Amino acid sequence: MMPERGEDSLVELLDRLLNKGLVLNADVLITVAGVPLIGLSLRLLAAGIETMLEYGIFEQFDQSTRAWALEHRVTSPTLMAEEEKKMNFFGSYSKDQGKAWNYGYMYLTNRRIFGWHKAFNKILYEIALKDIMEVVLVTNVHEEKERKELRLYQN
Amino acid sequence: MNETEQENCLYVYSILNTATEQNLGTIGIDDNPVYTIVYKDIAAAVHFLEKKPEPAKDEQQAKEWVFTHNYAIDKMTEKFGTLLPFSFGCVALGNDETIKSWLQKNYEPFKSELEKLSGTAEYLVQIFYDPKILAEKVLKDSPELQELNTKIQGMSKGKGYILQKQFDVRRDQAITKELSKLGAEFGRAIHENVKETIPEEKKSNVPEKFKGKKSVITLSCLVSNENVENLGQVLEQINEHEGFAVRFTGPWAPYSFIDLKKDFEHT
């Protein structure tokens, strides 16, 4: 039989071009641009994974990506010097008197109250405790359910 | 170095055997002209980029790039013989001089790798079996399994349950035994015709044609050009074995067989 390179060998081709072959060593390399240049779906195909559900995307195929993610994953917000966390919880907040609610991790420290977006490591809002003029607990109706809302007024 | 110079990049396709600087035509990604940067008797094939490449705008474009990269590698292989192919998307910051001094620095490992791979290409061999056919075969060959099977036929489903389990286990053991026996046989025949093999560890691609079959083994093989025909004949024989099927793909540039890691670690 003769070797073939037919229509059905796309996966083998991708596997070779994306996962194997030579790469530049660090002193000259600026980028092995495979991931950013061609996107995830082709990488998955090259990894022999037919659907993203088949494995958790990072479980099996891209050790380096996983290592990177682990190394860079942030699990808590950066606090200021001498700042201490008093409590935190997942919740929603609104900056425009209840017109639009957003979700995030709420933190109360000895210095401030703030919301934190875990995936982007971003402070969503913050209020220094010393700026809070008034705290009111109100009962409100949200999506046809009663719930308590804490209102903070700052100067 | 001024701002604009700093942005300049080279997209690298391969390291190949030539002592001549030359233009290889507009075979590069997005029709870029590919040319060689020479140090002694080896060269890097590159195309010039004014700045860092942007990601593909969609999957169609990404695929075109990957195919073009491979097409360029094929064209160069035709012209220069076996080469060291680069992964898709390797971009070096700098100019021809940067590449030249990099070639100089790594000349020894590049040269010896080119020599090692000279006159070879990479092929992929996948061997499949049909579990149904193999199950029939082991039953035919084993009086013990036949006896067990006859007993079960004469029993009610409930009574036969334990025996059925026993039968399944023994049949699977017989299949495994048969597979490893034939596998070793096939392996020997293949190894006689290849320089090196690497078993693929991850789940291998099973094309439509082979659906319903199971993979026995998937091997990346480095094969000398003069042995390809022999290997083809060996695979033909395996393919004709009852219950087995072979997929033979290639040739590819030796993507799986470049081993320079140890030489690179200290540079």
pLDDT tier at B15 (50, 70, 90 boundaries)? very high
Question: Could B87 and A19 be called an inter-chain contact, meaning their C-beta atoms sit closer than 8 Å?
Answer: yes
pLDDT of residue A52: 42
Q: What is the pLDDT of residue B252?
A: 93
Q: Is residue A131 part of a domain?
A: yes
Please give the Cα distance from A140 to A148 (Å, whole number).
6
Final residue before a domain boundary, out of A72, A100, A118: A72
Residues A50 and A99 in one domain: no
What is the ipTM score, two decimals? Answer: 0.79
Contact list in A for residue B248 (CB cut-off 8 A) is: 1-4
**A22–B66: do the CB atoms touch at under 8 Å?**
no
Whether A77 is covered by a domain: the verdict is: no
B69-99 as b/e, with b when 16 or more CB fall inside 10 Å?
bbebbbbbbeebbbbbbbbbbbbbbbebebb
Q: Note whether B69 and B29 are within 8 A (CB).
A: yes
Mean pLDDT computed over B31-57: 91
Pick the most confident of A130-144, B36-50, B100-114: B36-50
Comparing C-alpha atoms, which of A6, A17, A4 is closest to residue A45?
Answer: A17
The 8-class DSSP code of residue A94 comes to -
Chain B residues in contact with A27 (beta carbon < 8 A): 102, 267
Over residues B100-124, mean pLDDT: 92
CA pair distance B131, B137, nearest whole angstrom: 10
A41 domain-assigned: yes
Note down the domain range covering A58.
7-72
Residue B8 pLDDT: 81
Look-up: residue for tokens 């190894």?
Answer: B191
For residue B2, name the pLDDT band (cuts at 50, 70, 90): very low
Higher pLDDT, residue B248 or A95:
B248
Picking from B87, B251, B256, the nearest residue to A23 by CB comes out as B87
Residues A94, A56 share a domain: no
In a domain, A146, yes or no: yes
Instruction: Please answer whether residues B48 and B10 qualify as being in contact, where contact means their C-beta atoms are separated by less than 8 angstroms.
Output: yes
pLDDT tens for chain A, residues 1 to 155: 999 887 777 788 888 887 787 876 645 555 444 445 655 556 655 555 444 444 344 343 444 544 554 555 567 888 888 889 888 888 888 887 767 888 888 999 999 999 988 777 788 889 999 998 888 888 888 877 888 888 888 87
The closest alpha carbon to B137, from B187, B180, B178, belongs to B178
Percent of chain B having pLDDT more than 70? 93
Residue A135, pLDDT score? 87
A27 assigned to some structural domain: yes
Does A9 sit within 8 Å of B85, measured CB to CB?
no
Task: For residue A67, give Cα distances in angstroms to A59, B91, B230.
Answer: 10, 23, 44
**For residues B62 and B68, what is the distance between their CA atoms, to the nearest angstrom?**
10
SS (H, E, C) chain B: CCHHHHHCEEEEEEEEECCCCCECCCCCHHHCCCEEEEECCEEEEEEEECCCCCCCCCHHHHHHHHHHHHHHHHHHHHHHCCCEEECCCEEEECCHHHHHHHHHHCHHHHHHHHHHHCCEEEEEEEEEECHHHHHHHHHHHCHHHHHHHHHHHCCCHHHHHHHHHHHHHHHHHHHHHHHHHHHHHHHHHHHCCCCEEEECCCCCCCCHHHCCCEEEEEEEEEEEHHHHHHHHHHHHHHHHCCCEEEEEEEEECCHHHCCCHHHHCCC
pLDDT at A34: 45
Last residue of a domain, one of A50, A72, A94: A72
Output the pLDDT for position B100: 92
Mean pLDDT of B181-186: 89
Minimum-distance CB partner of A21 among B65, B232, B255:
B255
**Co-location of A45 and A90 in the same domain:** no
Q: pLDDT digit string (tens) for B56-87?
A: 788 788 888 888 999 999 999 999 999 999 88
Q: A109: which 2 tokens? A: 């420290």
A92 and A39 belong to one structural domain: no
Whether B167 has a pLDDT exceeding 70, the answer reads yes
Confidence at B115, pLDDT banded by 50, 70, 90: very high
Alpha carbon distance B35, B14 (integer Å): 11
Q: Please report residues of B whose CB lies closer than 8 A to that of A42.
A: 59, 62-63, 66
For residue A80, being part of any structural domain is answered with no
Quote the DSSP letter at residue A1: -
pLDDT confidence band for B38 (50 / 70 / 90)? very high
Across the interface, whether the CB atoms of A24 and B102 are under 8 A apart is answered: yes
Distance CA A82, CA A80 (A): 6
Q: List the single best residue of B37, B65, B252 to mutate versus A (max A Cβ within 10 A).
A: B252
Lowest model confidence (mean pLDDT) among B165-179, B182-196, B206-220: B206-220
pLDDT at A24: 67
What pLDDT score does A37 carry?
61
Q: What is the mean pLDDT of chain B?
A: 88
- Judging contacts by C-beta atoms under 8 Å, the chain A residues touching residue B260 are 22
Residues A95 and A140 in one domain: yes
Rg over alpha carbons for chain B, rounded to the nearest Å, is 26
Q: Give me the half-sphere count of Cα atoms (radius 13 Å) on the Cβ side of residue B17.
A: 16
Of A20, A40, A72, the last residue of a domain is A72
Report the number of distinct structural domains present in chain A.
Answer: 2
Report domain extents, chain B: 3-118, 121-257
In a domain, A107, yes or no: yes
Segment B42-60 mean pLDDT: 86
State whether A144 and A95 are in the same domain: yes
Round to whole Å and give the CA distance between A43 and A15. Answer: 8
Predicted pLDDT at B114: 95
**Burial category of A15 from C-beta neighbours within 10 Å (exposed 0-12, middle 13-18, buried 19 and up):** buried
| Residue B240 pLDDT | 94
B32 neighbors B26 (Cβ within 8 angstroms): yes
Q: Please give the pLDDT value at position A61.
A: 41
Query: What pLDDT score does B157 carry?
Result: 78
Distance of CA A82 to the CA centre of its chain: 27
